[in-house]
Amino acid sequence: MTTALVISDNHGDRAILERIVAKWADHVDVMIHCGDSEIPATDPLMKNFLRVAGNNDWHLGYVADQEVVVNGCHFLVTHGHHDRVNFTLTPLMLKGAAAGADVVCFGHTHQLFAGVDRGILLVNPGSISLPRGQFATIGGTFAVVQVTPKQFTVDFYDRDCRVQPALHQEFNREVAND
């Protein structure tokens, strides 16, 4: 099993990242930041995350996309602004398929999302500091993703690290026919 914490769009709110790192760093296999941290890549706090550049992170030392394999699970991380995620998830899914990703993590929309397309989990943790959309009243969210050979499980948490049970999602992984 692989467990990943996925967060995005804190927009300079350093304190929330410090609290989440302190609480979660020892309980997950990887911590992923999907961009718009507005904190330099050289900041020691950001070293806790596999991280990418958001549209507000120019000149802060981040790359556009990152990939990592953790316990056999292949993650692709991007912010999403170059992939038109405000309009469609197709380019993002195609990018994930081309990379051979099991999980694609993205941000930018400030709206939480989890779904599976062609066996790839697409997950947006929402914005931890400036949420939008249907679940904005939660006040900011991040996601914890668990991946097993047969299943993806996604739980969303609020800024106080409280799970949001109504947002729990489980997806069976599609098994390719050889």
> What structural domains and CATH numbers belong to the chain?
2-172 (3.60.21.10)
Query: How far is it, in rounded angstroms, from Cα 86 to Cα 49?
Result: 24
The pLDDT of residue 120 is 97
Half-sphere exposure of 68 (CA within 13 A, CB side): 17
Query: Which residue ranges in the chain fall short of pLDDT 70?
Result: 174-178
Please report the sign of the dihedral spanned by the C-alpha atoms of residue 88, residue 94, residue 97, residue 101: negative
Contact status, residue 108 vs residue 9, Cβ threshold 8 Å: yes
Distant-in-sequence, close-in-space partners of 153: CB < 8 Å, separation ≥ 6: 145, 146, 147, 168, 169, 170, 171
The pLDDT of residue 175 is 55
